[in-house]
């Protein structure tokens, strides 16, 4: 049977689709670890060559995926543990050994709950750039301080501007060292909805999860490194039908534009946004 093409923003799932067919991909390496105490599985997918990028349908870069089943539950202690684990990998990708000026971008539409992850996360961040610029490091009582600024650019239907245009203008005006972009993603498997966090240094394509292809936010396009953080909050309806029936013919063409999200997505997004903001606050402390 021809490979069923499904939409996923997770490099882990793209890699799994080849494992099902027992196919190895040249230029792609994978490393897995499991924190039994915290019940967090970490998978690092490194796409090292253009051949690997073409096969995977993802840009060259490092993709780190944290799978934490308890993320969908209102357990503050567990969410804190996930934040601490996520902060470890954020420090690695951001290179926080030296002071950095970090622009955090909350992508998405605050008025559409499954797409509100980015705006909600920025709302919970500890913003420091204005304090340090006004009063100096002494105001925070630290010798090393990362300058953190944040922006929620909205979506083009609200602003009339591409997200890229807004972010590029802010970078030219404020001169950050690195951008952190947070966005909601689409998953291949419903079991990963709201239970998985992916971070990557390969950039991000706003709206790609639901088929809206906007200008990319990458190091090449922005001129500075970018770290992307995403959580799958929706799954393609066609994928659910295919998983249940195994029959491509059962999938109506009308399903290609339909996405499914859990009924408690409003509370879940609030928890997840706080978990990610806490990870950033820890990593940039």
Q: Give every CB contact of residue 156 below 8 A, 6+ residues apart in sequence.
A: 162, 163, 214
Identify the sign of the CA torsion 18, 12, 113, 207. Answer: negative
What average pLDDT does the segment 91-114 reach? 93
Given a cut of 60, is residue 4 above it in pLDDT? no
Q: Is the pLDDT of residue 273 over 90?
A: yes
Q: What are 198's strand-pairing partners?
A: 65, 230
pLDDT digits (tens, 9 = 90+) for 183-241: 999 888 788 888 999 999 999 876 554 455 557 899 999 999 999 999 999 988 877 77
- Whether the per-residue pLDDT at 78 is higher than 80: the answer is yes
Mean pLDDT of the chain: 86
Average pLDDT over every residue of 101-107: 97
Measured distance CA(196)–CA(243) in Å, rounded: 20
With cut-offs at 50, 70 and 90, classify the pLDDT of residue 2: very low
State percent of the chain over pLDDT 70.
Answer: 88
CA distances from 92 to 70, 109, 136 (A): 24, 29, 26
Calculate the CA 41 to chain-centre distance.
Answer: 17
Residues 70-84: what's their mean pLDDT? 89
Q: pTM for the whole thing? A: 0.86
- Start-to-end CA span in the chain (Å): 51
Please state which of the ranges 147-161, 202-216, 259-273 shows the lowest mean pLDDT.
Answer: 202-216
How confident is residue 86, by pLDDT bands cut at 50, 70 and 90?
Answer: very high
**CB distance 215 to 221 below 8 Å:** yes
Query: Which residue in 219, 217, 198 sits closest to 208, CA to CA?
Result: 217
Residues 6+ apart with CB under 8 A from 160: none
SS3 readout for the chain: CCCCCCCCCCHHHHHHHHHCCCCCCCCEEEEEEEECCCCEEEEEEEECCHHHHHHHCCCCEEEEEEECHHHHCCCHHHHHHHHHHHHHHHHHHHCCCCCCEEEEEECCCCCCHHHCHHHHHHHCCCCCHHHHHHHCHHHHCCCCCCEEEEECCCCHHHHCCCHHHHHHHHHHHHCCCEEEEEEEEEECCHHHCCCEEEEECCCECCCHHHCCCCCCECHHHHCCCEEEEEEEEEEEHHHHHHHHHCCHHHCCHHHHHCEECCCCHHHHHHHHHHHHHHHHHHHCC
d(CA 241, CA 227): 33
Q: What is the mean pLDDT of residues 175-182?
A: 97
pLDDT at 173: 96
Give the lowest-confidence range in 23-27, 95-99, 148-152, 171-175: 23-27
Tell me the mean pLDDT in the region 125-142.
Answer: 90
Specify which residues 67 forms β-bridges with: 41, 196
| 113-129 per-position pLDDT tens digit | 999 999 999 999 999 99
Point out the least confidently predicted range of 20-29, 73-82, 206-215: 206-215
Q: What is the largest CA-CA distance in the chain?
A: 65
């Amino acid at each position: 049977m021809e490979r069923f093409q499904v939409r996923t923003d997770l490099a882990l799932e793209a890699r799994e689709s080849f494992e099902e067919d027992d196919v190895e991909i040249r230029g792609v390496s994978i490393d897995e670890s499991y924190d039994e105490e915290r019940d967090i599985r970490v998978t690092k997918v490194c796409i090292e060559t253009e051949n690997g990028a073409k096969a995977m349908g993802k840009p060259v870069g490092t993709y780190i995926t944290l799978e934490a089943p308890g993320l969908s539950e209102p357990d503050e202690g567990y969410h804190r543990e996930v934040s601490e684990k996520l902060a470890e990998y954020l420090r690695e990708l951001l290179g926080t050994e030296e002071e950095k000026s970090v622009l955090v971008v909350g992508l998405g539409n605050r008025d559409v709950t499954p797409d509100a992850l980015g705006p909600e996360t920025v709302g919970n961040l500890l913003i420091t750039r204005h304090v340090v610029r006004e009063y100096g490091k002494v105001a925070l009582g630290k010798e090393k301080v990362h300058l953190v600024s944040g922006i929620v650019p909205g979506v083009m239907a609200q602003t009339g501007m591409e997200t890229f245009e807004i972010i590029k203008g802010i970078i030219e005006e404020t001169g950050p060292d690195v951008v952190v972009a947070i966005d909601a993603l689409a998953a291949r498997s419903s079991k990963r909805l709201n239970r998985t966090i992916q971070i990557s240094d390969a950039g991000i394509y706003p709206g790609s999860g639901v088929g809206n292809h906007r200008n990319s936010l990458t190091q090449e396009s922005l001129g500075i490194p970018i770290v992307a953080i995403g959580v799958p909050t929706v799954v393609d309806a066609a994928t659910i039908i295919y998983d249940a029936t195994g029959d491509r013919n059962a999938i109506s063409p009308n399903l290609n534009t339909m996405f499914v999200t859990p009924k408690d997505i409003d509370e879940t997004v609030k928890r997840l946004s706080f978990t990610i903001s806490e990870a950033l606050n820890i990593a940039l402390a």
